[in-house]
Amino acid sequence: MSDQIEFVSNYSDLSTDKGFQFEFNCDRCSNGYRTRFQAWAVGSVSSALDAASSLLGGVFSSAADVGERVRSAGWQKAHDEAFVHSVEEIRGNFIQCPRCSQWVCRKACWNNKRGLCKECAPDMGVEMSAAQASRSVEEVWAHAKMAAEDKKLAEGNWCETIVASCPKCGAPQATNAKFCPECGAKIKTADSCSKCGAALTAGAKFCPECGEKVP
């Protein structure tokens, strides 16, 4: 076995004086795996010495110090061995993307067909479905935000002349109003003669067919 220990950045060390445990997480989705707790027998002995030293007012303080020194060296060696074992145990669940170098889980974040992580090579079916759903949501919101007056125009009245500002006071018109909200002047003019029904041109004061005065 090599003296060098290979490690990755996407792990958490949950080890204690009683034993060793590690968590490995996917760099993309953050899901991962936790290794089973590996008990360290010497940890129980050291804990017992520490407890005795505390209860008996330091009678065993020298023994506890010896236990601590033994634990420090022994624990580190056992910790390294446990870590190497855990890395080998978990390795098959993760793979490193050759493009972005992230360690990702094979289960959810690896695109087998492309040989890249799904951040670099997304699943096209998933992306197409997401795009369609996003488009549908945009249409729903656009329809929901449409004012009743706009809906009326959308149903076939786009040819109707809409005045952007009041012809009398010049105030801008936020809606397709009949009267100016600033001065009260009439904005919408009749588009047909009230007497004979003939079409009227914009600004006409009298009907070109029957001479009826345009209100």
Contact yes or no for 143/137 (Cβ under 8 A):
no
CA nearest to 44, candidates 9, 8, 71: 71
Per-residue confidence (pLDDT) for residue 114, from 0 to 100? 93
Per-residue confidence (pLDDT) for residue 189, from 0 to 100? 65
Q: Could you give the number of structural domains in the chain?
A: 2
**pLDDT tens profile 72-87:** 788 888 999 999 999 9
Following DSSP, what letter does each residue of the chain receive, concatenated? --SS----SSEEE--BTTEE-EEEE-TTT--EEEPPPEE-HHHHHHHHHHHHHHHTTTTTHHHHHHHHHHHHHHHHHHHHHHHHHHHHHHGGGEEE-TTT--EEETTTSEETTTTEETTTS--HHHHHHHHHHHHHHHHHHHHHHS-HHHHHHHTT-TTS---SB-TTT--B-SS--SB-TTT--B-PPPSB-TTT--B--TT-SB-TTT-PBP-
Per-residue pLDDT tens listing for the chain (215 residues): 457 777 678 899 999 888 999 999 999 999 999 999 999 877 554 554 454 444 444 443 444 454 454 557 888 889 999 999 999 999 999 999 999 999 999 999 999 999 999 999 998 888 888 888 898 888 877 776 666 556 655 554 545 556 667 778 877 766 667 788 889 887 766 667 778 877 776 667 788 888 888 77
Per the domain annotation, does 151 fall within a domain? no
In a shared domain, residues 191 and 96: no
In a shared domain, residues 110 and 178: no
The pTM assigned to this predicted structure is: 0.52
Per the domain annotation, does 84 fall within a domain? yes
Per-residue confidence (pLDDT) for residue 73, from 0 to 100? 82
Per the domain annotation, does 31 fall within a domain? yes
Identity of the amino acid at 51: A
Token output for 125: 């079916």
Per-residue confidence (pLDDT) for residue 31, from 0 to 100? 94
Q: What range does the domain containing 57 cover?
A: 11-117
Per the domain annotation, does 55 fall within a domain? yes
Q: Please list the residues that pair with 199 across neighbouring strands.
A: 192
Identity of the amino acid at 65: D
Per the domain annotation, does 132 fall within a domain? no
Per-residue confidence (pLDDT) for residue 48, from 0 to 100? 45
**Percent of the chain's residues with pLDDT above 90:** 30
Residue 8: phi and psi, rounded to 5, are: -125, 165
In a shared domain, residues 24 and 96: yes
